[in-house]
Structure 1
Amino acid sequence: MKKTFMLDTNICSFIMREQPAAVLKRLEQAVLRGHRIVVSAITYSEMRFGATGPKASPRHIELVDAFCARLDAILPWDRAAVDATTEIKVALRQAGTPIGPNDTAIAGHAIAAGAVLVTNNVREFARVPGLVLEDWVN
């Protein structure tokens, strides 16, 4: 069965910064098996914004563009993503365990897209009910 793997901002930054062999191998294996590798429009926005910061080098935008060009898609933020994100916000608020707004949106987008969220920030995302996670780092 073909899967969709959605990379979160943390793992994208880690891949671009560190070029970790184990994570790159997992990516390669996923591609060879015909799985889709995507990011949320929210992650793309975070990466683009990060490339404009005072510590960002002029090469940073080129790195982000080259990274995104190799993806199968940057998934657009749509009504299903908004609805799933709203459900997560309500559930986490009621549980008293909220996470950051962008992480909530990325989690909602992954659920709406039926994607496995790949992250090295499992502690934060593990609070989200119904979210399928994989940590390719640890």
Structure 2
Amino acid sequence: MSLRYLLDTNTVVFFLKGHPAVVERWAQVPPAEMAISAIVWHELMVGATASQAPEARLAGLRRLGEVLEVLPFTREDAAASATIHAELQAIGTPIGPRDTLIAGTARRHATIVVTNKSREFLRVGGLTVADWTLTAQPANQKKKKRP
């Protein structure tokens, strides 16, 4: 099997908090088809470190890191992210800097971004976006054409 889904931070948090639709969808996908980017790993680590129970949260993330692949952020990802940034700036619809890095990684790996921030990621041409917090998944997967 090959990588199919790149999970955004909010999707992982929904899973860890037991969101029923996210947990159900997660269980249907083989682990080899899911990954997170190093950017998402960073955001999760920041959240865990700043929590009221950092040791427990960090231990949970370590267990998650044993199951989910963490994609490194490479110079190719940086180039793809820079292109996305320029495209969105040119039309006046930028997204947040970390979301731009995640989108660049997803576009380069041709994966579906799983997020509940569809409005942000659908601005990026060439991305397919899915929201696992919704129950009827296939109808909720959307793809934006590249400019």
Q: For 1:12-31, what aligned pairs fall within 5 Å after superposition? A: 12-17=12-17, 19-31=18-30
Runs of 5+ unmatched residues, structure 1? none
Report how many aligned residue pairs link the two structures.
133
The answer to whether structure 1 residue 45 and structure 2 residue 42 are counterparts is: yes
The Cα shift of 1:28 comes to: 1.7
The Cα shift of 1:21 comes to: 2.3
Q: What do residues 78-134 of structure 1 show as CA deviations (whole Å, max 9, x unaligned)? A: 122111101100011011111110001001101111111111111111111111111
Q: For 1:112-131, what aligned pairs fall within 5 Å after superposition? A: 112-131=108-127
Q: TM-score, normalised by structure 1?
A: 0.88
Question: Which secondary structure state, in structure 1, belongs to the residue aligned with residue 49 of structure 2?
Answer: coil
Q: CA RMSD in A?
A: 1.7
Question: Which secondary structure state, in structure 1, belongs to the residue aligned with residue 16 of structure 2?
Answer: helix
1:3–1:116 contact (8 Å) kept in structure 2: no
* Higher RCO by CA contacts (8 Å cutoff, separation 6 or greater): 1
Name the counterpart of 2:131.
Answer: 135
Question: Which secondary structure state, in structure 2, belongs to the residue aligned with residue 51 of structure 1?
Answer: helix
Amino acid at match of 1:115: T
Runs of 4+ in 1 over 4 A off after TM superposition: none
The answer to whether structure 1 residue 104 and structure 2 residue 100 are counterparts is: yes
Runs of 5+ unmatched residues, structure 2? 135-147
Q: TM-score, normalised by structure 2?
A: 0.83
Aligned counterparts of 1:89 and 1:56: Cα–Cα separation in 2: 35
